[in-house]
Structure 1
Amino acid sequence: MNDPEAKPPDTLDNQVLADIGYKPELKRNFSKLQMFGIAFSIMGLLPSIATTLSYTLPAGPYGMVWGWFVCAFCVMSVGLTMSELGSALPTSGGLYWWTFYFAPDKLKRPLSFLVGYSNTLGLTGGVMSIDYGFAQIFTSVIIVATDGRWNPSKYTVYGIFAACVVSHGCVGSLGTHHMAKFQTMCIFINFAVILVVMIALPIGARNRLNTGEYMFSHIDNLTDGWPDGWVFFLTWLSPIWTIGAFDSCVHMAEEAADATRAVPFGIISSIGACWVLGFCLNIVFAAVMPHDIAPLLNTKFQQPMAQLVYDCLGKNWTIGIMCIFFCLQWTMGLSNVIGASRQSWAFSRDGALPFSTFLKVVNTKYSNPIRCVWGNALLALALGSICMIDATAAAAIFSLSAGGNYLAWFIPLTLKLVFGQNKLTPGPFYLGKRLSIAIGTFASTYLFFAIILLQFPGTTAHPDKLSMNYTCVILAGVWGGCLTYYFLFAHRWYTGPKTTVDVVDGVGESSCESIELVDESEGEKKRVVNDYSTSHSTSQTTLE
């Protein structure tokens, strides 16, 4: 029997958001399935594996298959921990908001400022790297079609990249109901293409398929000086790059219906789908790959995946499949622009970004922070120009995406683990105290290790200036610059998350937690009481 006092889902969502301190400004057009769709679309399983195949091939089929499986298991622990927070505190600000909530008083502002900027730049770096990947796959199609006679200049590649970014800015400015429907379409297209590739490649290579023993146990080491064990860890770079940006579900929380459930559903289901399907795809690739891997890595097509498909299916199939790949890559970039713009909008709403007053405005006709959409697009264009220096500079700036996001995940999840066990009132998705601590500890350990892993040269233990991995320089510059900016200037005006609603009346001390925020309109400190237990229990009564 329905509860006569039950509230509509939108009312419950907006009440939870008001408890956090924000008034609703975006329309809740995204269902649970579409929340899965936006994260799964950004991951873009097939094109992402295609563009990161050079990380896994040097370890041979064993590293390709099992490196994916083990690393994806680790990523799932991060997703489970993040889902707890997304269920309890569903706001577009997400990571930096949680950091402010859990951090000790003296560290609240600088750490939330660092996390917000690292996340913003990481997501924008993701837009840049995905769209540059689009340009590379696009040019590889032409190279295959001309049998390697055409070689694009770096300016040609950048021009294609820039056109892709601009197209994402235009389409990303449409109404959110169009974007929600687009995510549903992307789900079916991605699954269909994955199925086609998994069937077509083994058929094309049916006369030379590798044995199961070779696929699951053969180890290669095509690096210069790295031991076999470390080469296995380097294969993790492929799933690290691919199974990322699931925090986009957090940033879309204020546009999700039944956000306390939709956010964790989107995170966990997208990671799980990529874990299983990616494992299956890597098994297929291991089954059809040649024993001599060097020609794949040194292919004239500039994409190992293009060479692999060419060897199995021939020229025409390769052109067709790679065309599908760059179309999927385009959808990845669009979804990433959408997610990144919501993070930038939330950070602007709290006054942290330059030109925040301008950027935080929501277009009421389309219910879309269009200014942030274009702000992210323009920043991606600027970052992409660095890729024209050389391949080493391009690899370094690409690392901004994974490194920036991993730090932005590591800090709030670790703070919650250390300081938040008795502070957080769980949402509908909760692992239980013991399991939450165990999985959270594992997730933080993995994130710390992955951040270190990203700093290492992938091909040689004896790097020179060309083979050196300059990720450490880029990330140190970004993180150091953020903190320097905060302590020199931003500490004067950045006070942490602001409230955009009036103070919510409190309830009993035993059932709530509070956080000190700053009211945007009056500039005076207030105590906003977060009665999540009441909101969530009402939600469960209504929807179950």
Structure 2
Amino acid sequence: MTQGSANASADVALARMGYKSELPRNLSMLSVLGLSFAIMAAPFGLSTTLYITLTDGQAVTVIWGWVLVTLISIAIAASLAEICAVYPTAGGVYYWSAMLSTKEWAPVMSFIDGWLTLVGNWTVTLSINFSGGQLILSAISLWDEDFVANEWQTILMFWAVMLVCALVNIFFSKYLDLINKVCIYWTAASVIIILVTLLTMADHRRSGAFVFGHFDASQSGWPSGWAFFVGLLQAAYTLTGYGMVAAMCEEVQNPHREVPKAIVLSVVAAGVTGLFYLVPIMFVLPPVDLLLNVANGQPIGLLFKTVTGSAGGGFGLLFLILGILMFAGIGALTAASRCTYAFARDGAIPGFRLWRKVDKRLDVPLWGIILSTLVDCLLGLIYFGSSAAFNSFTGVATICLSASYGVPILINVIRGRQAVKESSFSLGRFGYAINITTICWIILAIVLFCMPVSLPVTASSMNYASVVFAGFASISALWYFVYARKKFTGPPVAGDDQAREEAGVMTGQAVVDAEKTASLESDGPKKQKDGVGYE
């Protein structure tokens, strides 16, 4: 099938799901994989949250916690990919929750999941760019160990990072395909360079027994077993954004095939990359007390400086991580803006008529990008009131996205997995086991990530994730009762099986019929036969 007919088939399929195609389909599977890979940004995410695992278990939590969460994340990604293959739209999990529900429950389930997804997208972008701003400022401490950025310096640097990401998304959107692909090569090269540099320049190396078997939770105050689970926040925060790329379905050719593959492969790639990054760090790990007492709260720069023996060497390695940061920030804002656009076009956000507009000259949801950027910049001001409250956004992002992934998976299980029986990415006989395992993990994760990193708890060390989460939940609930309860009906065709069948979106029917239609149109007038299901 030619590129034109592939695009046409995807557009027809989208129309049958109730939406008009407004965004150019210029992203490949490799590009979407790169976008997901960029959002997770394993070396960057693991660097900025290293203090968590050094407090809650050290080497065992770092290495085996990462392996455990990687395996669970692959299971979640596979569960989402199975559904995405049937309903490939920018609405992502929000749309899937409606399609999988009964007609009566579709509006409320899609509304709840939509707000979870939207808040998760915004706070992931916020967490990435704010911690990135902190990491940039921490580079100064490589030369001046007593330097600690004040609130204004931190906020201004955060805003600068957000501005760069927004400008790239607005004015250089046609290069996003290239940017996402370059991210893969930059990250791989960075990990190899860091691995080789650390292992060759280190004067002192830890033993294999330490790297793979040392456990010390004395810094945490938690019981040893519970400290390990609390420490999983580092891995869970990093391996979070893979589901966000479902929002790119309307910019990809053959999204029912390419996006599901990208979702799963990106998690596998991030898991392998993270392991190759963490193992050498554990082998050359300086004294833990030294790293945890660093003034700026970001130990990775000091680790690089200590191992290389110079501030310049430390900054050289840190620069590679900062490059990954920019890819992550750009990618996260891309996904967040598409999520905003998709949710707004169904009337679920106050002021939706503005946020759903697509700029025809730039071919981007311009106001969706602007809203996402403004929300994050304003939320950053919370840092003036409490750094502890702001740091909880990391937990909120993880909680919201994990819960948003769990909603359609849970509905799918409750309804007997009927909607995904003919999915082109079917989990087959292992579907129930994989789905139920992921649901159990998500429930546990929501509890875990409301816990403080260490005990005893003070006002400055308290984890305010549950408070911030409740705040966003209150806003969405208020909007539901004021407006959405009477006006919001959910995505188009959010009804029972009969309604979906009439619309041609049942178990991939839209995609299949659309491909046939586009193929016939491109080859000239021929007799068309009816078909049901995937060929």
Structure-2-length-normalised TM-score = 0.91
Does the C-alpha gap of structure 1 residues 284 and 540 become closer, same or farther in structure 2, counting only changes over 3 Å? farther
Residue aligning to 2:484? 490
Q: Identify the residue that residue 454 of structure 1 maps to in structure 2.
A: 449
For residues 42 and 491 of structure 1, the distance between their equivalents in structure 2, rounded to whole angstroms, comes to 34
Q: Indicate if the aligned counterparts of 1:428 and 1:536 stay in contact, CA closer than 8 A.
A: no
Task: Verify: 1:193 aligned to 2:190, yes or no.
Answer: yes
1:102 to 89, 100, 103: 100
Deviations 1:163-213 (A, max 9, x none): 1112222111125431111111111111111111111111111x4211111
Between the aligned partners of 1:151 and 1:465, the Cα distance in structure 2 is 20
1:283 aligns to 2:258 (yes or no): no
Aligned partners of 2:514 and 2:235: how far apart in 1?
A: 35
- Determine the structure 2 residue equivalent to 1:528: 503
1:379 aligns with 2:354: no
Question: Of residues 51, 54, 59 in structure 2, which corresponds to 1:57?
Answer: 54
Moved more, 393-402 or 130-139: 393-402
**Structure 2 letter corresponding to 1:446:** W
The answer to whether 1:350 aligns with 2:346 is yes
Among 233, 237, 242, the residue aligned to 1:237: 233
Distance in 2 between the 1:484 and 1:198 partners? 50
The CA deviation string for residues 354-390 of structure 1, in whole angstroms up to 9 with x for no partner, is 1111111111122210110011000000111112222
Aligned-residue offset at 1:12: 2.3
Q: Work out the CA distance in 1 between the residues paired with 2:54 and 2:210.
A: 14
2:13 aligned residue:
16
Query: Deviation per CA, 1:138-186, whole angstroms, max 9, x where unpaired?
Result: 11111213x2243321111101111111222211112543111111111
* Cα-to-partner distance string for 1:442-479 (whole Å, 9 max, x where unaligned): 1111111111111111111x323222211111112222
Distance, in Å, in 2 between the alignment partners of 1:223 and 1:148 is 23
**Aligned pair in 2 of structure 1 residues 200, 7: CA closer, same or farther (>3 Å)?**
closer
**Counterpart amino acid of 1:450?**
A
* Displacement after TM superposition at 1:535 (Å): 4.8
Quick check: 55-64 or 531-540, which moved more?
531-540
SS of residue in 2 equivalent to 1:120: helix
In the TM superposition, what is the alpha-carbon distance from 1:279 to its structure 2 partner? 1.7
For 1:330 and 1:514, how far apart are their aligned partners in 2? 46
Aligned partners of 2:138 and 2:261: how far apart in 1? Answer: 36
Distance 1:223 1:442, change over 3 A: same
Contact 2:50 2:300 in 1 (8 A): yes
- CA shift for structure 1 position 93: 0.4
SS at match of 1:489: helix
Correspondent of 2:155 among 133, 158, 167: 158
Counterpart CA distance in 2 for 1:94 and 1:197 is: 36
Equivalent-residue separation in structure 2 for 1:490 and 1:421 (angstroms): 29
Render the CA deviation track for 1:45-70: whole Å, top value 9, x for unaligned: 11111101011112121111101101
Residue type of the alignment partner of 1:410: G
CA distance in 2, matches of 1:112, 1:485: 14
| Pairing of 1:183-332 with structure 2 (within 5 A) | 183-205=180-202, 207-290=203-286, 292-314=287-309, 315-332=311-328
User: 1:90 — aligned with what?
Assistant: 88
Counterpart pick for 2:411 among 390, 407, 415: 415
Q: Which moved more, 1:166-175 or 1:368-377?
A: 166-175
Which structure 2 residues correspond to residues 71-86 of structure 1 after superposition, within 5 A?
71-86=69-84
- 1:505: which partner in 2? none
Q: Which residue of 2 aligns with 1:169?
A: 166
Give the match for residue 110 of structure 2: 112
Q: Distance in 2 between matches of 1:7 and 1:76?
A: 33
Deviation (angstroms), 1:496? 0.6
Q: Which runs of 5+ in 1 are unaligned?
A: 501-511, 517-525
Between the aligned partners of 2:295 and 2:468, the Cα distance in structure 1 is 30
CA–CA distance in structure 2, aligned partners of residues 326 and 112 of structure 1: 36
**Judging changes above 3 Å, is the alpha-carbon distance between structure 1 residues 513 and 492 closer, same or farther for their aligned structure 2 residues?**
closer
Amino acid across the alignment from 2:174 = H
CA distance in structure 1 between the partners assigned to 2:139 and 2:338 by the alignment: 33
Residue range with higher mean Cα deviation, 382-391 or 449-458: 382-391
Is 1:134 equivalent to 2:129 in the alignment? Answer: no
What amino acid maps onto 1:470 in structure 2?
Y
Contact 1:260/1:427 (CA < 8 Å) preserved in 2?
no
TM-score by length of 1: 0.90
| Percent identity of paired positions between Structure 1 and Structure 2 | 24
CA distance in 2, matches of 1:409, 1:157: 32
- CA shift, 1:44, in A, is 1.2
Residue 422 of structure 1 and its aligned partner are, at CA, apart by 1.7
Q: Distance in 2 between matches of 1:391 and 1:437?
A: 42
- Which residue in 2 is equivalent to 1:438? 433
Secondary structure of 1:173's match? helix
How far apart are residue 537 of structure 1 and its match?
5.1
Secondary structure at 1:405's aligned position in 2? Answer: helix
Which sits farther off after the overlay, 533-542 or 30-39?
533-542
Distance 1:425 1:30 in 2: 28
- SS of the aligned residue for 1:246 comes to helix
Q: Which amino acid aligns with 1:214?
A: F
In 1, are the aligned partners of 2:191 and 2:276 still within 8 Å (CA)? no
Q: Are 1:39 and 2:36 counterparts?
A: yes
Cα separation, partners in 2 of 1:23 and 1:220, compared to 1, 3 Å = same
Instruction: Give per-residue Cα distances to partners, 1:271-324, cap 9 Å, x unaligned.
Output: 00111121222211111113x311111113531111211111121111122223
1:426 and 1:261 map into 2 onto residues whose CA distance is 13
For the 8 Å contact 1:16–1:532, the answer to whether it is kept is no
Structure 1 contact 127–333 (Cα < 8 Å) conserved: yes
Q: Is the 8 A contact 1:87 1:428 kept in 2?
A: yes
Task: From the superposition, tell whether residues 471 and 375 of structure 1 become closer, same or farther in structure 2 (CA, over 3 Å).
Answer: same
Change (3 A) 1:265 1:423: closer
Contact 1:162–1:381 (CA under 8 A) maintained in structure 2 = yes
**C-alpha distance in 2 between matches for 1:155 and 1:125:** 20
1:538 CA displacement: 6.5
- 2:524 corresponds in structure 1 to none
Distance 1:260-1:355 versus aligned 2 partners, 3 A rule = same
Instruction: Name the count of aligned residue pairs.
Output: 516
CA contact (8 A) 2:419 2:506 kept: no
CA contact (8 A) 2:84 2:259 kept: yes
CA contact (8 A) 2:58 2:216 kept: yes
- SS of residue paired to 2:422: coil
After the TM superposition, which of the residue ranges 33-42 and 399-408 deviates more from structure 2? Answer: 399-408
Deviation at 1:84, TM superposition (A): 0.5
Aligned pair in 2 of structure 1 residues 466, 300: CA closer, same or farther (>3 Å)? closer
> 1:481 aligns to what?
475
Report the equivalent of 1:428: 424
| d(CA) in 2 for partners of 1:423, 1:515 | 13
Q: Which 5+ residue runs of structure 2 have no aligned equivalent? A: 520-533
Deviation at 1:19, TM superposition (A): 2.5
* Aligned-residue offset at 1:513: 4.2
Taking structure 1 as reference, are residues 386 and 468 closer, same or farther at Cα in structure 2, changes over 3 Å only?
same
Deviation at 1:484, TM superposition (A): 3.6
